[in-house]
């Protein structure tokens, strides 16, 4: 195994653990503030006053730093699939923190997810040269595609029934996360230039826009509808798939090709997606969602009245 992967793989796994903890806190925080419309920045103003959200931001920053480290030493098509394990931590840590044993469904979902992930990485053998310079000409198709997809997802969240709203929002979240990872990988080639020089690269500013937008859409997804299971599965599946596409098309990425490898990669991704779907049905917010403080206070006031 290349020397860089000895840093990239542990960093990606630690990032996944941090993101898993952060997601638990963010879900609880999102249900303690008023519901806002898709991509409404007012939601951030509500959340920054919430203690749980403050803790989650610290964990997110830690996870992002570890993700950047992993992307510096490993290909985006390896790092992002490894971050799928954040869902495992999100689901499996909840019963552990509550001193309960994971049930058989959680164990089955975790086993399928890990089996699919390991199989995909073994069959695909993802790698990238990492030296392509993303000029405005080469990045234009990515920017247009991103704008079209995000616009369609956000517009769709306004037009569908409330119980379906979380699905297009989850799709938009996964797209933002996947493209952001590709931009971080592209920018990582410039890290040796030093911090002042990084300010002159457009990728930094694109990350500063797409990263917070992804977090905001993630909070909207937590708040919207009751379809938490497929929404969580969509985010976790779309993120690595988008990052793999960005790596292949824009970052000189390579994966094994040919009838047998492609068939194996499709089967592995299908197994991973099935495991994610099973795990998502045991996500904390599907069984025992936390009670919003404001709503609980209102009910208490009505009882006293």
pLDDT above 80 (res 231): no
Q: Is 158 a residue whose pLDDT tops 90?
A: no
What whole-number distance in Å separates Cα of residue 176 and Cα of residue 218? 10
Comparison of pLDDT for 274 and 301, the residue scoring more: 274
pLDDT the model gives residue 10: 94
SS (H, E, C) 64-79: HHHHHHHHHHCCHHHH
Tell me if residue 44 falls in helix, strand or coil.
Answer: helix
Lowest mean pLDDT among 84-93, 104-113, 228-237, 292-301: 292-301
Q: CA-to-CA distance for 153 and 133, rounded, in angstroms?
A: 29
pLDDT greater at residue 95 or residue 129: 95
Q: What is residue 301's predicted lDDT score, i.e. its pLDDT?
A: 36
Q: Which residues contact 165 (CB under 8 A, 6 or more apart)?
A: 38, 157, 224, 225
pLDDT above 50: residue 304: no
The confidence score (pLDDT) of residue 129 equals 58
Q: What is the pLDDT, as a whole number, of residue 59? A: 93
Taking the C-alpha atoms of residue 265 and residue 111, their distance in angstroms, rounded to an integer, is 17
Residues 219 and 43: beta-carbon distance below 8 Å: yes
CB-hemisphere CA count at 13 Å for 156? 15
229 contact partners, CB below 8 Å, separation of at least 6: 277, 280, 281, 283, 286
The whole-chain average pLDDT of the chain stands at 81
Rounded to whole angstroms, the Cα distance separating 297 from 305 reads 12
| 3-class SS of residue 116 | helix
Over residues 85-110, mean pLDDT = 76
pLDDT at residue 97 in the model: 65
**How confident is the model over 94-106, as pLDDT tens digits?**
677 667 776 788 7
> What is the rounded average pLDDT of the residues 282-296?
50
Distance CA 29, CA 47 (A): 7
In this structure, is the dihedral angle defined by the CA atoms of residues 200, 206, 209 and 211, taken in order, positive or negative?
negative
pLDDT score for 284: 61
How confident is the model over 3-34, as pLDDT tens digits? Answer: 788 899 999 999 999 998 888 888 778 878 88
Mean pLDDT within 140-167: 88
Phi-psi category of 39—alpha, beta or left, where left has phi over 0 and alpha has psi -120 to 50? left
Selection from 35-49, 68-82, 121-135 with the highest mean pLDDT = 68-82
b/e map 106-131, b = 16+ CB within 10 Å: bebbbebbbebbebbbebbebbbebe
Cross-strand pairs, 127 = 254
Domain boundaries, the chain: 5-304
**How many residues in total does the chain contain?**
305
Query: Quick one: average pLDDT of 155-161?
Result: 87
Q: How far apart are CA 62 and CA 158, in angstroms?
A: 33
pLDDT at 303 exceeding the cut of 60: no
Backbone angles phi, psi at 128, to 5 degrees: -150, 150
- Give the mean pLDDT of 51-58: 90
Q: In b/e form, how buried is each residue of 269-282, taking b as 16+ CB within 10 angstroms?
A: bebbbbbbbbbbbb
- Mean pLDDT across the stretch 131-146? 77
- Rounded CA-CA distance 202/210 in Å is 12
133 — pLDDT class (breaks 50, 70, 90): low
């Amino acid at each position: 195994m290349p020397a860089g992967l000895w840093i990239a793989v542990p960093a990606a796994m630690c990032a996944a653990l941090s993101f898993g903890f952060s997601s638990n806190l963010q879900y609880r925080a999102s249900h303690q503030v008023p519901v806002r419309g898709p991509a409404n920045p007012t939601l951030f103003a509500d959340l920054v006053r919430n203690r749980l959200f403050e803790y989650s931001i610290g964990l997110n920053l830690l996870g992002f730093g570890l993700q950047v480290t992993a992307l510096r030493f490993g290909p985006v098509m390896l790092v992002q699939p490894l971050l799928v394990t954040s869902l495992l931590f999100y689901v499996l840590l909840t019963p552990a923190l509550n001193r309960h044993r994971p049930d058989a469904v959680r164990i089955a979902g975790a086993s399928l997810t890990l089996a699919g992930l390991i199989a995909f990485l073994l069959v695909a053998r993802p790698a990238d040269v990492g030296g392509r310079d993303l000029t405005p000409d080469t990045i234009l198709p990515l920017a247009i595609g991103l704008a079209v997809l995000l616009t369609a997802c956000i517009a769709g969240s306004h037009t569908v029934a409330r119980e379906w709203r979380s699905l297009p929002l989850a799709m938009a979240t996964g797209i933002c996360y996947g493209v952001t990872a590709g931009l971080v990988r592209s920018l990582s080639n410039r890290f040796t230039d030093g911090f002042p020089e990084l300010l002159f690269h457009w990728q930094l500013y694109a990350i500063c826009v797409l990263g917070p937008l992804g977090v905001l859409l993630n909070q909207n997804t937590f708040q919207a509808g009751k379809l938490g299971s497929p929404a969580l599965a969509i985010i976790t599946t779309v993120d690595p798939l988008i990052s793999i596409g960005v790596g292949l098309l824009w970052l000189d990425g390579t994966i094994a090709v040919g009838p047998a490898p492609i068939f194996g990669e499709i089967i592995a991704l299908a197994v991973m997606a099935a495991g994610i779907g099973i795990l998502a049905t045991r996500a904390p917010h599907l069984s025992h969602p936390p009670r919003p403080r404001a709503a609980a206070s209102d009910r208490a006031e009505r009882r006293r009245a």
